[in-house]
Every structure is written in C-alpha cells, then in structure tokens.
Amino acid sequence: MDGSLLNQLKKYKNLQSSKYIPVRGDEIITRVFEFDKYYVSTKIDGHLCFIYKKNKDVNLYNFNGKSFKRDELISEAIKKIPVSSALLVGEIYHYDKGKRTRSFDLTKAISEANAVIKIGVFDLITYDNKSFEATNWLEKKKLISSIFSEGDLIHPVQEIEFSSRKELENEFNQRVNNNNEEGIIVRGLNGPTFKIKPSLTFDFVVLGYAMGYSDDFSLLKELIFGVLIEKNKFLVVGKVSNGFSIDQRKNLSKRLEKIRVPSNVIETSGVNVPFTMIEPALVAEIESIDIINSNSNGIILKSVLFFEKEFIKLNNSPSVSLISPVFMGLRQDKKVTEHQTGISQITRVIDLIDSDNEPEIKADSDLIKKELFVKETRGVKMVKKYFIWKTNSDSNNYPDYVFYKIDYSPTRSLKLQRDIKVSDNKDQIINIFNKQIETDIKKGWNKID
C-alpha cells in the first residue's frame, strides 16, 4: 500500500471518530437536533473496512492498512464495482442469522473459512476518479444502492426515513429494547450524524483519587479507574469527576485517605494534578454513553500498572476511553477479581486494537524526588507540591530531568499555579528543587510524609 492511501484511510477514521454525536436512548427528544427528515439504520457492530479498487484489483483494508483476507468478499466487489477506481467505506461484520452483531465475534470468525462475513457499505470517498463531499449523502446513497442493491455479502446499509424525533424514539425502542440490537445510527438531512445507544455500565477498580472540587481541597474531585488484567496488574481505563453528591465527595475523600499507598507512577487528573494512588480494593460502578478504542491521535494507549505494596508502571498498552463517564456508586457486592472487574468487561463491548503500526513508546519516566507541604490558616488550607522526574529519554526532544511545582491557595485570584524547569544535569535539577523549597517554605508550613 502506498503512503498516500494509508494517510487517506487514517484521516477518514480520525474524522469519522469525531463526526458521530453520541446520545443515550432516553435523550433522543432533548439531544437530537430537529430536522425535516432523518435516515435511520441499525448500528452494525464490526470493524471499519475500506473497499479499494484500482484497475482490476480489489483490496479490503482496516484504517491502519491491514488487509482483511476474504476471497469471497473480494470476488463479489470485483463483480459489483464496474469502474476501475473506487474507495468505499463500510462495516465488516460476522453474520449469524437472527443474532446481534458483535465486534469480538468478527475477531474470532474472520480467519474461519466457513464463517459468514459481510460488509455493510455506508459511505463513498471516491468513485471513477470523482471525489464526493462528506455532506453529499443523498447522491452517495443512490450510487451505493445502485452498485450493491443485488449484493449478498456486500450490501448497502439499510436506512428507513422518518420525520420526527418521536418516531426515532419508537424505532430505537423497537430495535434496541425489543430486538436486542446495539443501537441506531441517525443521519439528519444535511446535518450531523447521531449514534444512539443505551447507556453502558461497567464495574471498574478504583486506583486513585484527586482532591479539589470547586477549589475546595477537602472535597474529592476525581477518581482514576481501570481493569484487572491478571493478579496485581491493572490497565488504566479512565477518570470520572461527575455523578458524586457533595456528601459522597466528603465521605469518599476520608475513606480513600485511609488506604492511600506509595507510588512511583504519575497519573494526572483533569487539571494536571497527580492522583494519589490507593490500595486497589474498591469497585466503582461507572456509566457512560459510549466507549472508543481510537481517537484523532490514533490508537488509545494507557498505562499498565503493577501493585505490590506500591504502584509501579510497567508499560503502555492499547486501552479505551469512555464518553461522558458518570460515577454511579461503589459496589459493595463486588470484589477485585478478573471475573468481576476484568478486561472482559471491555472486550465484550469493543476490541482492544493490536496494531502492527503501533508507535514506539518513550521509556517511562522515574519519579526521583517528591515533597508535599501544607499550611492552614483560619480554616483555609494551602498546598505546595514539588517533584523531580528523570525522563529516561534518548531523544533530543526531551530533557534528562524535569522539576515540577504545584502551588494551590484558595485566597488567590489564580488559585492553582504551576512551574516547570528542566535540566540535563542531575545535580543542577536537585539544586533547583532544594532552593525552590528553601525560598517558598517558611514558618507555618508542615511537611507531609
């Protein structure tokens, strides 16, 4: 595959990832825009697939340029596409009559000769050396239907036309709640596309916490959570800051403080404050609208952490992100086991991408020095944190050492201040660290171990 085609596939994937607006099934009336017409199809749960024809040859690619080796699909595409150049887009999926499509079924079945694999075509990029605008859906739909209307294994995605959001709501209930489909795709005429699904619920391991809700550092702001891969090994999945009551923010902060543990890991919250890590013993129920395994930057990669008295980072690995996560509560009836909080919770919904083109990962940084100071005056608590990291990078793009300071004072107009200094000399960065503390820390400040 030439580089220009690969870039085109990746660019399409990146744009597609951002063009769908996720909506929960109970939010159709309030969040789907009002249009004169809507085009509705069942969401196929498979993998993104590009059908590329050049001269007499057809290839089927994923967005990373990896080929799907299915001779029956290639043969049908050659027969159905009459022109010498075309690039179409669809969802390749495992077909099992009467059963819901699932992406992990495709992963298992794609290499099985007897499995029925199909492609539902939903977009057209170029055809007979002509490019098509993304918004020109009606013309593209007509052309796709004319090419594949008699197709068996490759077919147009079937759409039904509606004229009101109430009709969309009824159709969603029929397809999803009654027929157990994953969701529906709704195209507004000359407008955005909506991906409508029921909410997803997961049981994740709580790995750490950050304080500072509404600039009150006595209140919990955010949790970081993940899944158990194997004994003592966790894959970070995400962070959640929504869904907590004020009482929960007060009570959880006290509970989490009691089980905090040492850590050589720096995972940062939404406001770039390092999480305080805890003993991985609590299970949180997290709800989200959707889950994705890639974004505009490519494959989503997150930390794999190992815990034995303290946390260390092992490497980065393919992971996922949740769309609009909400904390529903702690699960007192759940334990941190592979069965109840394992990675299968993710893979039952979406594949973790294993890419041959996965980018090279920079070596993990080491935290070599950290100190925390607190001062309380008339009930107002101020915090100063100081860090030094060794970057472990061989690249000229990274310094050898980084000094990082966090200074929080609720009485200032700019409550949270940060300072970063870099050096390629260890003695120099330690001198910067010590001098900054000597300058900042005067009477009334207490060091926290």
The residue among 17, 16, 23, 20 whose CA lies nearest residue 288 is 23
pLDDT value at residue 360: 41
How many other β-carbons are positioned within 10 Å of the β-carbon of residue 389?
A: 21
pLDDT value at residue 447: 92
Coil/strand/helix, residue 69: coil
Q: Side-chain half-sphere of 333: how many Cα atoms within 13 Å?
A: 1
- String of DSSP letters for 261-273: --BS---B-TTSP
pLDDT value at residue 358: 42
Coil/strand/helix, residue 9: helix
pLDDT (tens place) for every residue of the chain, 449 residues total: 778 899 899 888 877 756 788 888 989 999 899 888 999 999 998 999 999 999 999 999 998 889 999 999 999 999 999 999 999 999 999 999 888 898 878 988 999 999 999 999 999 999 999 998 877 788 999 999 999 988 789 999 999 999 999 999 999 999 998 888 989 999 987 678 899 998 889 999 999 999 999 888 899 999 999 999 999 999 999 999 999 999 999 999 999 999 999 888 888 887 778 899 999 999 999 999 888 888 766 789 999 999 998 999 999 999 999 988 999 999 998 999 999 999 988 988 888 876 444 444 456 678 899 999 999 888 888 999 999 988 886 654 457 888 888 888 888 766 777 777 878 889 999 999 999 999 999 999 999 87
* Total-model pTM: 0.65
The answer to whether 28 and 170 have CB atoms below 8 angstroms apart is no
Cα separation of 39 and 245, whole Å? 39
Q: How many residues does the chain have?
A: 449
pLDDT value at residue 282: 97
C-alpha torsion angle, residues 405, 407, 413, 414 (rounded to 10) = 30
- String of DSSP letters for 150-162: T-SSEEEPP-EEE
CA angle 52, 53, 59 (to 5 degrees): 55
Domains in the chain with CATH codes:
21-43+160-198 (3.30.1490), 45-156 (3.30.470.30), 200-347 (2.40.50.140), 366-448 (no CATH)
